[in-house]
């Protein structure tokens, strides 16, 4: 490579360092006629040197010591739960149907599926309303099990997917402002702990949906104000709410859609896909059927508190004797 006299002079100290590092610099050849020097060296070795950690070090690197270790304990399920930020306001601004908007629920599920397809170590995800929980298998080593990396990747993938797929579910209705989701990471060491966590979230789904179904029936069908509806429901039990729904609005809560009452569970399942191909046999084209099994993310709207779901899908949880 050809360098100006000044440039070559400035680079001489660096090339001396290269020599100390045993990078083959052949020599400097002066060209008096042109006032330049020709540096002969092994360019491949030079490129390797320029991109090595030797060049990256500086006096400012000490700031890395301020980073805290957030590695998740091994042999534990890692749960990343996302919750919509200010989603009551977001739902009002975008005219979500009450008490449940199937478009919004479908978009949440589609965004969650995008996260699972990106991070295949997620063995199950559960969602309801404006939240979704993602469970990584105990042996996962994604991002070296760093909690901050896992949480931010899940949150960013989910949020961007929510925006990306918005039109699939809301058509021409404009997205007025970006949605926000906050996240947290929790570790569960046993199958029992993890199942209890998912049972807690599904029980929360039932409690909230029953209340919202009665509340909005009183407001939208019963003509009460929101304050009057709140007052009427104060101190009521589940049986009382079911009675109000049935006696005043002829609604049998147990016949409400499962997605509203049970939420959505996403798991990996093997699906058989059948296709037809044209092949040549003895110079004749024949159509043959080919069946292949592929793992895909599938949605289930069912009870996950009892044992039946887990017996039907034993591959989800690892055997830990619990």
Q: Are 171 and 98 in contact (CB under 8 A)?
A: no
Q: Does the annotation flag 319 for ligand binding?
A: no
Residues in the chain: 322
Q: Are 249 and 99 in contact (CB under 8 A)?
A: no
Q: Which residue has 């044992």 as its token pair?
A: 307
Q: Does the annotation flag 130 for ligand binding?
A: yes
Q: Are 84 and 181 in contact (CB under 8 A)?
A: yes
DSSP state of 146: B
Q: Are 232 and 218 in contact (CB under 8 A)?
A: yes
Q: Does the annotation flag 296 for ligand binding?
A: no
Q: Does the annotation flag 88 for ligand binding?
A: yes
Q: Does the annotation flag 294 for ligand binding?
A: no
**In the structure, how many helices (H) and strands (E) does the chain have?**
12, 9
273 Cβ partners below 8 Å, 6+ apart?
291, 292, 293, 294
Q: Does the annotation flag 84 for ligand binding?
A: yes
Distances (CA, A) of 302 to 6, 145, 196, 211, 297: 75, 31, 16, 20, 16
Q: Does the annotation flag 9 for ligand binding?
A: no
DSSP assignment string, 81-129? EEEETTHHHHHHHTT--SS--HHHHHHHHHHHHHHHHH-TTEEEEEEET
Task: Extract the annotated binding site for Mg(2+).
Answer: 83-84, 130
Task: Extract the annotated binding site for GTP.
Answer: 83-88, 129-130
Task: Extract the annotated binding site.
Answer: 83-88, 129-130
């Amino acid at each position: 490579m050809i360098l100006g006299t000044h440039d070559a002079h400035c680079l001489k100290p660096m090339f001396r360092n290269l020599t100390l590092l045993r990078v083959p610099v052949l020599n400097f050849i002066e060209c008096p006629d042109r006032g330049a020097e020709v540096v002969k060296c092994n360019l491949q070795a030079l490129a390797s040197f320029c991109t090595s950690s030797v060049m990256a070090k500086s006096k400012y690197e000490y700031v890395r010591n301020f980073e805290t270790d957030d590695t998740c304990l091994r042999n534990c399920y890692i749960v990343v739960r996302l919750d919509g930020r200010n989603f009551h306001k977001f739902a009002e601004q975008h005219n979500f149907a009450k008490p449940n908007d199937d478009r919004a629920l479908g978009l949440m599920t589609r965004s969650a599926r995008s996260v699972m397809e990106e991070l295949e170590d997620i063995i199950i995800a559960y969602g309801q309303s404006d939240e979704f929980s993602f469970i990584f298998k105990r042996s996962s080593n994604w991002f070296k099990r760093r909690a901050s990396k896992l949480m931010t990747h899940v949150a960013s993938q989910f949020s961007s997917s929510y925006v990306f797929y918005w039109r699939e579910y809301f058509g021409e209705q404009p997205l007025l402002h970006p949605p926000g989701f906050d996240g947290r990471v929790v570790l569960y060491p046993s199958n029992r702990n993890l199942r209890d966590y998912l049972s807690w979230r599904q029980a929360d789904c039932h409690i909230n949906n029953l209340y919202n179904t009665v509340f909005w029936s009183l407001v939208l069908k019963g003509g009460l104000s929101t304050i009057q509806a709140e007052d009427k429901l104060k101190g009521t039990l589940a049986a009382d709410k079911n009675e109000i729904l049935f006696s005043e609005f002829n609604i049998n809560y147990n016949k409400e859609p499962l997605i509203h009452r049970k939420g959505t569970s996403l798991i990996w399942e093997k699906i058989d896909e059948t296709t037809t191909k044209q092949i040549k046999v003895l110079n004749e084209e024949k159509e043959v059927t080919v069946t292949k099994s592929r793992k895909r993310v599938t949605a289930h709207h069912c009870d996950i508190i009892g044992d039946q779901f887990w017996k039907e899908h034993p591959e989800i949880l690892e055997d830990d004797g619990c």
